[in-house]
Each structure stands twice: as C-alpha cells, then as structure tokens.
Amino acid sequence: MVKKSLILDPDTSYSFSQYGALPFDTTDVLAEFGVAFQSTALQLPEQQPLDPSPLIHELTENLALVDPTSEIARRESLIFPVLKTVCKFIQSPLKIEYSIRVSDRLKGNVDYFIPTPQNLVIIEAKNADLGKGFTQLAVELIALDQWVDAPVDCLYGAVTTGDTWKFGLFQRQQKLIQKDINTYGVPNDLAKVLGILFGITLQSSGSVAGESF
C-alpha cells in the first residue's frame, strides 16, 4: 500500500486562521491530527429560557442600518449581540480573541470562547466561507480538547457569517469531528440559534452531548 503524503509541512508552524485558507478537504486536514470527520444531522441540545423577540428586533434594526459586508460590521451588528445575550443570561464571561497554544500546529486566537463546562467556541467565517471556516473551527476544537481540563465527552463549536450559523462538535473519545448538515439564518432562525446556544451552555458537566441520527 502506498502511504498517503502528508499535506502539512512538518517544519512549518501553523496558526488557526491558516487552516481556513488551506486548499485541502476538511477530512484530509483533520487526518493530520488523527481525527475523523463526518457530516450528519446533529440532534443538538436546545433550551429557550428567554423571549428572543427583543433580540430579533435589535438584529433586524441593525441590518437595516448597517451593511454587513465587512468582518467588523458582521461582528458588531450581528454576532456580538447574540453572544452578549447568551453570556449575560448564563452569567458567563465572553472571551474575545482568546489565545491558545498547544503546539506549533495548534495555536492562535479563537474569535469567541464561552468558558462553561462545554467550552463553546464560535468563529467568524473569513470571506463568508462556511466550508473553510468549519475546517478552522474543527482544528480549534482539536486544540481545545488538549487545552482545557473538562470532564465532558464532547466539545461544541459554531461557525458563523453573522447572518448564517452552522454547528459542530468534537467527540473526544472517538476522535471524531461532526459537522451539522443544517444551517440557520439570522434573524429568521434566531430563536433556533439561541435555543442551541443556550442548550449547549446550560448543560451540566455531567451531561452527555448531542447524538446524530
């Protein structure tokens, strides 16, 4: 059998953002870390502890006032208001540009990190590319697995363009990254997005993470 060539240069240091720019399939990138990849319909945890109507109104107003074409505009008008709402309710800090360094291949800044027992990571997809953004998210979850000391089976993440959200998780024991085949639009699906964010962050440390079906 011919051994598959490695796609990462063993003599090169890689930051998280560089993985989102590589011209390789997510499966092949994750194989470099001994992690498998699967796209599936995830049964994500959901809770809705508050009325989403005020936030829907705020985001609708923001979209009417701001053209969310730049990364800064998307962050300030769409992403941050959602995460602020979640963190304010659950009384958790919101870490922005959170720095992680596990190795020369697993290092960089995470766009948003909510340090609950599930350690939720959220990144903004560069150039509004959810596919490349998910590759970066997956690598960040692999790094987070080695960075945090958390007694949970799964780590959750989301990649967003501000007006579109996609979720994923890392099955730690199986060494498997799962990407949800569903995407959710904002503001139309905001109640769903909030429900999932609350469902993840309000889980206790002993909870079992989402299953695929």
Give domain limits for the chain.
Answer: 16-212
Confidence label for 69 from pLDDT (cuts 50, 70 and 90): confident
pLDDT at 212 over 90: no
16-212 placed in CATH 3.30.810 = no
Residues 152-177 have a mean pLDDT of 96
Confidence label for 100 from pLDDT (cuts 50, 70 and 90): very high
- Tokens read off for 15: 């930051």
The pLDDT score that the predictor gives to residue 11 is 87
pLDDT digits (tens, 9 = 90+) for 46-62: 999 999 999 999 999 99
**What does pLDDT average to over the chain?**
90
| Contact by Cβ (8 Å): 121, 169 | no
Q: Out of 58-62, 93-97, 110-114, 149-153, which region has the weakest mean confidence (pLDDT)?
A: 149-153
pLDDT above 90 covers a percentage of the chain that reads 78
3-state secondary structure of 165: strand
Q: Which element (helix H / strand E) includes 119?
A: none
| Contact by Cβ (8 Å): 198, 49 | yes
CA distance 179 to 145: 17
pLDDT digits (tens, 9 = 90+) for 129-148: 999 999 999 999 999 999 99
pTM of the model: 0.90
